Structure 1
Amino acid sequence: MTDYVDGYCERVAPGLWGEPLNSLSNLAFLVAAVLVWRLATGNRTGRLLAVLIGLVFAASTVFHLLATRWAATADSVSILVFVLVYVVLFARVFYNWRLAWLAAPAFLALTVVTALLGGGLYLSALIGLGIFAALLAFRRDVYWTHFAVAGAVFALSLSLRALDRDVCDYVPAGTHFLWHLLNGVVLYLVSRTMVKRLRP
């Protein structure tokens, strides 16, 4: 678990400051967490989402500083926890589904399928945003556009993440830091949508 991980253009050797852009760009998550926390005054669900975004910030920062396998696992787990909590909240808040917790294993099943197809957690998250937008658009809920916009931003973010290793010869810093910046926007957008939906 302490094995060195070199998975990004910017990382060329072990060391705490081996990925300065990838490390600093995690501040986008911290900014998103603070904004959601302030927006969610008196809203425990919003505050929970803010804390989970804060955990993503911490885990991703540690990973890009240490570049070890255990830190990579912590990074992925923090993202997965946010997504699982969010899909359950979506089912409960937007559809008042009493068995909202079933949304979590349903998403995990989708993730397994996309992983077998080579997509993994992130492709299933993109599909999930598309499903949220489609479900709400079908019943003419005005919030469908919020998820459509978040999905579009995430699609761009995912593309930049995939390009990172392919552009090393032309862009030594890579594009992974843009993945962080855009994902901070995505987490803010979906959390803001949840907070607004819960307001009287």
Structure 2
Amino acid sequence: MDHVDAYCERLGIGLLAEPWNAVSNAAFLVAAVLLWLRYRPRPRSLRALPVLLALVGLASLSFHTFANTITNAADVGFIAVFVLWYLVCFAHWYLGFGWAKSWLVVPAFAVLAAVTLPLANLIPGGSGGYLAPLLALITIAVVAAVRRQPWTDLAAAAVVFVVSLTVRTLDQPLCADWPSGTHYGWHTLNAVVLFLVSRAAIRHAREAGRP
């Protein structure tokens, strides 16, 4: 397994080489617990959202304590799973598509990622990979607003995501002046993003009387 040194805070190879980056993953776990206990998501498709949110946090924690190619793949992989599953849920619960048709958003998202890849490659610090999710989030917020469905949480999440992506991108450029880096801000703000989009879907399903 290759050691991965990708962030400003990394001080060495040990478990505590990225203390703030590691501890800040607690934000994902807190968000997941709040979703589960406060909003009690139903049915299972939406109940999966806080579970996936917690797994995003745990995978990120594993990467920022054991930084290698396997934990890096888990970190990126669970984020991708959350994004894709959320888009499928949006198609089903917001747009009213059947589950089979809802899965068509996965290849649609792949096309979006491919089309925006040249622009994404211009964004430094590896943050370009999150351009497609940002554009997808803005799109679903607009779609929800146009359809007069609950959209404020989605719009707020898009705004927070812009800030969190900026914070992530500044990690290396600010390293000389801010040795702890800024990546922990990405974790904290992204926990807010995932909480908001999950809450939006859970609330919408409940208010629409579709348990």
TM-score by length of structure 1 reads 0.94
- Indicate which of 129, 145, 155 corresponds to 1:137: 145
Q: What code does the residue aligned with 2:159 have?
A: A
List gaps (5 residues or longer) in structure 1: none
* 1:187 equivalenced with 2:194 (yes/no): yes
Structure 2: which amino acid aligns with 1:191?
S
Aligned to 1:68: 68
Q: CA RMSD in A?
A: 1.3
Change (3 A) 1:41 1:73: closer
Displacement of 1:112 after TM fit? Answer: 2.3
Q: Within the alignment, does 1:125 sit opposite 2:124 as a pair?
A: no
1:155-177 C-alpha deviation (Å, 9 max, x unpaired): 00000000000000110001000
Among 95, 101, 104, the alignment partner of 1:102 is 104
Moved segments of 4+, more than 3 Å: none
Matched AA of 2:87: V
Question: Residues 55-113 of structure 1, C-alpha deviation per residue, up to 9 Å, x if partnerless?
Answer: 10111000000111111111000000000000000001001113111011111221223
CA distance in 2, matches of 1:41, 1:140: 22
Question: Greater helix share, 1 or 2?
Answer: 1
Structure 2 gap ranges (5+): none
Q: Which moved more, 1:116-125 or 1:5-14?
A: 116-125
Which letter does structure 1 place at the counterpart of 2:115? Answer: V
Question: What percentage of residue pairs aligned between the two structures are identical?
Answer: 46
SS at match of 2:190: helix
Q: Which amino acid counterpart does residue 83 of structure 2 have in structure 1?
A: V
Equivalence for 1:47: 47
- Provide the residue aligned with 1:35 in structure 2: 34
**Equivalences, count:** 198
